[in-house]
Amino acid sequence: MRRWTTSHIRYMEDHAGEGADAVAEALGLTREAVRQQAKKYGISLRKRWTCPNCGSTVFKPLSTRTGWCEACTRELRYEEISEQVRQMQDAIRRNEDVERKRQAVYSRKHRLKSTLRVMEFSKKRHEKDT
């Protein structure tokens, strides 16, 4: 059995976030030996990742789609969805405006046709009376 040196302990402290397997491989020791020493010195060998977007250290793997932590990925998705909602609202507003203008034109056309009918009826009546 190899003896643990201070450089081994320091390496384990510095690289604990890479996990027990990675530390064991780098030091040429077994995973169980690394786990026991980590427990003895109170070092967590839980894997950690650093988000390149926000710089925070997280314990869940980074997103394969964005390469960011879960919070940054959700924030990005929120922004994407918000933009889609804005675009949809703009499209609805445009359609409502067009429909309102179209309806105004049809209403005006109907009123004008009614006015013409009344005028024609009055003209025929006037001709009939004379």
CA 51, 52, 53, 57 torsion-angle sign: positive
Query: What are the pLDDT digits (tens) for 21-61?
Result: 999 999 999 999 999 999 999 999 999 999 999 999 999 99
Average predicted confidence (pLDDT) for the chain: 93
Query: What are the pLDDT digits (tens) for 52-87?
Result: 999 999 999 999 999 999 999 999 999 999 999 999
| pLDDT interval class at 111 (50, 70, 90) | very high
**DSSP string spanning 18-72?**
G-HHHHHHHHT--HHHHHHHHHHHT------EE-TTT--EESSPPPTTTSS-HHH
CA 59 – CA 46 distance, rounded (Å): 7
> Domain residues of the chain, as ranges?
1-47, 68-130
Burial environment of residue 120 by CB neighbours within 10 A (0 to 12, 13 to 18, 19 or more): exposed
